[in-house]
Structure 1
Amino acid sequence: MQDSIRVNDPYEAQNRRVHAFNKAVDRHVISPVSTRLSGGGDTPSQGGAVNLVINAGSNLSLPGKVVNSLLQGRPEPAIRNFFRFAVNTTLGIGGLLDPAGTDFGLPEQDTDFGETLAVWGVPEGPYLELPVLGPATGRDAAGKVGDLLIDPLYHLLHPDGALAVFGLRVASKAGERARFGDTVDSVLQDSADSYAQLRLIYLMHRRHDLNEGGAEIDPYADTAADDVIDPYAP
């Protein structure tokens, strides 16, 4: 018998409606766009093009991660991400390539403003599913806004340049959707209850990343909503 994790989901009815909308958007818009971006993934050159887009979008996210690490009082990952950005922007042709990771041993140190809020002691809040953006918590939803506000590129670049950066980062997310298409489809389209499954996967991984606990369970096992403990149930 699997362990369960505690879920704060007082807005489940509304979240399920948003989830149904997101599934439709993924099926009819995001999945076809990501497939077209990868050219169907039939040739190495097409797969390579997707990797270039993903690399460039990931590189453009690094300045914001540097700021977040500093706000968290963690200078070491901030320094690593700063040098990774510098190396990949120059030697990596604007971030299309990843010499920082392959040649200099500087992997990306992932973080975001949601983690910054967690470090500052902000509670997780209720589980939410946001239109298009997908699963979040109250804290992480606020963190998505914070990431836009603190990203240096959006403040330093001309508005047209900032818009191009945003567009490339969106294309990078579409590339990641293409890369992990089978896994995403297995959760969204093939699960008996894709809402409960996605909620479980998100909370488990997010709490693990933030060292906030959560049971170690198989995220791809078929899990019904009743298998998850809801502390707000009477």
Structure 2
Amino acid sequence: MNENQRRNALAMVVLLATGGCATGPNRNPQDPLEPLNRMTYRFNDALDRNFAQPVARQYNKLVPQPVRTAVDNFFANLGDVVVMANDFAQLRIADGMNDFGRVAFNTTFGVLGTIDIASALKMPRHVQDFGLTLAHYGVPSGPYLVLPLFGPSTFRDAAGFGVDQYASPITYADPAWRNSLWGVDFVSTRARYLNATSLLEEAALDRYLFTRDAWLGQREAKVRGEKEEKLPNYEKDQ
């Protein structure tokens, strides 16, 4: 990310965050549990600063970029299995067949998903989960909820997260392998967004409000089926 891109991104962060603060002392009606959520947010933030970020920095330092990409692709391929199941649950048959094809091609020709063959074949990756499936059938989101370790959610999406975890292929691996895979996935994911954290800290704003409002806005856009904007490559300059 060059200096101009960095300034523009920071300006967008400030704009979004101050927009989220515009309600002043009035509590956001979507967040009636704000005192409890802030406590959980502080716990997660302390864990992130003291454990997750240092481990992620070492991961980026020690693991070559091609290996990190292969790891990301491997877990994305496993995630496509859950996406496919939710496509079919929402009767999005075309998307489901596309994602079935993604899993089939990447698992076989892509060496267990470490190479993203499907994207090269113009088979797009979709974003679906059981929380969105529940929303598709009219289940309201319920209050905003910060989950210990897992972060922003709502009552509906927390329930959906549990179902998605049950549907994930990793869940059925031998416990030793399962726990190791969960750990590697966590570190790999956290390592991709180290610079995003640094950018947010530069704004010196209420990071809880920004995280909440940005997450709720993004989630609502997904429920409406709006195309998700591609995030900047935060791995650059790490």
Q: TM-score, structure 2 length as denominator?
A: 0.77
CA distance in 2, matches of 1:87, 1:165: 23
Q: 1:210 and 2:227 equivalent?
A: no
CA distance in 2, matches of 1:106, 1:207: 25
Corresponding residue SS for 1:61? helix
Partner of 1:217: none
1:10-63 CA distances to partner (integer Å, 9 max, x unpaired)?
Answer: 1100000000001111111111121222226xxxx7222211111101111111
Deviation at 1:176, TM superposition (A): 2.7
Two-structure CA RMSD over aligned residues (Å): 2.5
Residues 163 and 67 of structure 1, relative CA distance in 2, 3 Å threshold: farther
Corresponding residue SS for 1:105? coil
Q: 1:65 and 2:83 equivalent?
A: yes
Partner of 1:78: 96
Corresponding residue SS for 2:146? strand
Partner of 2:54: 32
Checking the alignment, whether the CA contact within 8 Å between 1:54 and 1:173 is kept in structure 2 is: no
Checking the alignment, whether the CA contact within 8 Å between 2:55 and 2:187 is kept in structure 1 is: yes
Corresponding residue SS for 1:15? helix
Checking the alignment, whether the CA contact within 8 Å between 1:38 and 1:49 is kept in structure 2 is: no
Partner of 1:219: none
Give 1:138's aligned amino acid: F
Residues 9 and 212 of structure 1, relative CA distance in 2, 3 Å threshold: farther
CA distance in 2, matches of 1:106, 1:92: 14
CA distance in 2, matches of 1:122, 1:163: 36
Q: 1:122 and 2:139 equivalent?
A: yes
Unaligned runs of 5+ in 1: 214-234
Residues 110 and 125 of structure 1, relative CA distance in 2, 3 Å threshold: same
CA distance in 1, matches of 2:29, 2:197: 22
Unaligned runs of 5+ in 2: 1-14, 227-238
Q: How does 1:39-188 map to 2 (within 5 A)?
A: 39=61, 46-102=64-120, 104-151=121-168, 153=169, 157=172, 159-160=173-174, 164=177, 167-187=180-200
Aligned length, in residue pairs: 204
CA distance in 2, matches of 1:91, 1:203: 37
Checking the alignment, whether the CA contact within 8 Å between 2:170 and 2:181 is kept in structure 1 is: no
Corresponding residue SS for 1:129? strand
Q: 1:193 and 2:211 equivalent?
A: no
